[in-house]
Amino acid sequence: MSIPKVHRIKGREVIPRYRVIPYAELVTILKEDGEAFFEDTRKEPLNRQTLWKAAQRLSELVGKKVKVERALLRLENGGELEGYSFSLEQ
């Protein structure tokens, strides 16, 4: 386990980074299929707060309650993708 380090930023440029959640795509798929999968990256996983907020926003956009769960998506070639399953509550 590596120990996190603290760095001074005075005089350096700090570039904020945000992961964009493709709400338009998720809304379309949720309206058509009732369930959508969002692939996560191991390098920069999303935190629970971001996912909770995304589910709330999707609920507003779709007009129905959306729940989110951590999930694995099995591919036809035998592989798996890690990510999150967004689905409409029944």
Mean pLDDT score across all residues of the chain: 87
**Residue 1: which pLDDT band, with cuts at 50, 70 and 90?**
low
Q: For the chain, what is the radius of gyration of the CA atoms? A: 17
Please report the DSSP string for 16-81 in residue order: ---PPP-HHHHHHHHHHHSEEEEE--SSSPPPHHHHHHHHHHHHHHHSS-EEEEEEEEE-TTS-EE
Q: Is the pLDDT of residue 18 over 70?
A: no
Q: Is the pLDDT of residue 75 over 80?
A: yes
**Residue 51 or residue 5, greater confidence:** 51
Q: Average the pLDDT over each of 11-20, 42-51, 77-86 and give the range with the smallest value.
A: 11-20
Average pLDDT over residues 73-87: 89
For residue 27 the two structure tokens come to: 């809304």
**Residue 66: which pLDDT band, with cuts at 50, 70 and 90?**
very high
d(CA 76, CA 79): 7
Q: Is the pLDDT of residue 56 over 90?
A: yes
Asked if 35 contacts 68 with a C-beta cutoff of 8 angstroms, the reply is: no
Distance of CA 86 to the CA centre of its chain: 9
CATH architecture of the domain with residue range 24-88: 2-Layer Sandwich (3.30)
